[in-house]
Each structure stands twice: as structure tokens, then as C-alpha cells.
Amino acid sequence: MRFRFAVLAVAALMMAGPAHAEGYLTPNVGLVFAGDTDDSKASYGGTLTLAGDFFGFAIDFAYTPDFLGTTAFGSNNATSLMGNLVLITRPARTRIYASGGLGLMKTRVEDVDGFFEVDSNELGINVGGGFMFVPDNIGVHADVRYFRNLTDPEPDDEFDVDLGDLNFWRASVGVAFRF
């Protein structure tokens, strides 16, 4: 299913016209806040965006150490890897966009004594927006996104999806490289 989604996204970009297709690679730093964090946390990652005249596709990765804090939980972190559809303005020096998609949300918690370890891999969604200012081939990319995990409310053999309890916001900024 993920492969089909990626093929459809690339096909949509190809239909946008090869003369106007652009790619952006953005390593970034961010701040995770609100939701399930005890206070603001630093986040590190990157985004690869392929954009046509109005639509695009992006892959967003972020890693947040000490997501749940350092006092009660010992070692912990959160990682997200999302595939997003992007609605973006026409190619120009500044491009404004909205995006939303789904992917993997992974959390890991290990207590201070190393007695227990919990790894959780769940499906998640994100929605957000931002801008890219790229006058030449190097510029600035900034965005804000909301993340939420999806769960199965009744673990049985049926496919049910509900909004989970894990949620947070992330604001990020990075250097955008256009190719």
C-alpha cells in the first residue's frame, strides 16, 4: 500500500509538468511542544519535498530525545517518519504550502534502572503548513505541524482506526537546498 501511495504521488508530480518540478532537501532543527511533552523539547530531522506547480509530495523525519522528560522516565525518545501530500503555491522565490499525511510514530521509554523497556510503533498522522524562501539554490524553510497517533480501539481481527492519546506540535526551521 505504501508503494502504491508513493507511485501515485510521483505520477501526480510528473503530470504537473517537468519544467516546473522542483526538489528541496531541508535538514532542520525544531521545537516539540504542547500535547504529551512535559515542556518544550529540541527536535532534529529533515524533509525532502518534490513539488510541481500546485501539488507535491514530502517525506518528513524527526527525532526528539527526552520527549517525556528526564526526571521520571530515564531514557526516552520519539521518532516520526511521515509521507505527506503538499498543496503549494506556484514556483517563485517564496513558496507557501499546507501539507498532511501519515506514517510511523515510534516512542521508546527505558526506566532509570534499566528494568523495563517499552518500544511502540504506531501509525500516525500530521497536518501543518509553512513556507520556503529560496532565492537561488539555498534558502530557508520553516513550518509548524501537529502530530497524532492512530490506534485500534478494539484489538480484534477487524480494521478499526481511532485517534490515539499521543499528540504534540512541532515547529522547525532549516536550510533548504533546491535541486
For the chain, the structural domain boundaries read 2-178
Which CATH number is associated with domain 2-178? Answer: 2.40.160.20
Task: Confirm if 178 and 23 have CB atoms less than 8 A apart.
Answer: yes
Q: Among residues 101, 129, 120, which one has the least CA distance to residue 165? A: 120
Does 89 have pLDDT greater than 80?
yes
Q: In the chain, what's the furthest Cα-to-Cα distance?
A: 57
Percent of the chain with pLDDT over 70: 82
Q: E-assigned strands of the chain?
A: 22-33, 41-51, 55-65, 75-88, 94-110, 117-133, 138-151, 162-178
108-147: pLDDT as tens digits: 887 656 566 677 888 999 999 999 999 999 999 999 999 9
Instruction: Find all residues with CB under 8 Å of 12, minimum gap 6, and list them.
Output: 52, 55, 57
Determine the Cα–Cα distance for residues 81 and 47; give it in Å rounded to an integer: 10
pLDDT digits (tens, 9 = 90+) for 40-88: 889 999 999 999 999 999 999 999 998 877 656 567 889 999 999 999 9
Is the pTM value of this prediction over 0.85?
Answer: no
For residues 140-167, give the mean pLDDT.
85
Model pLDDT, residue 120:
81
Grid coordinates in use for 91? Answer: 514556483
Residues 6+ apart with CB under 8 A from 18: none
Q: What is the residue-wise DSSP string for 60-107?
A: EEEEEETTT-SSSSSEEEEEEEEEEEEEEPPSSSEEEEEEEEEEEEEE
Q: State whether residue 6 is helix, strand or coil.
A: helix
* Separation CA 76–CA 110 (nearest Å): 6
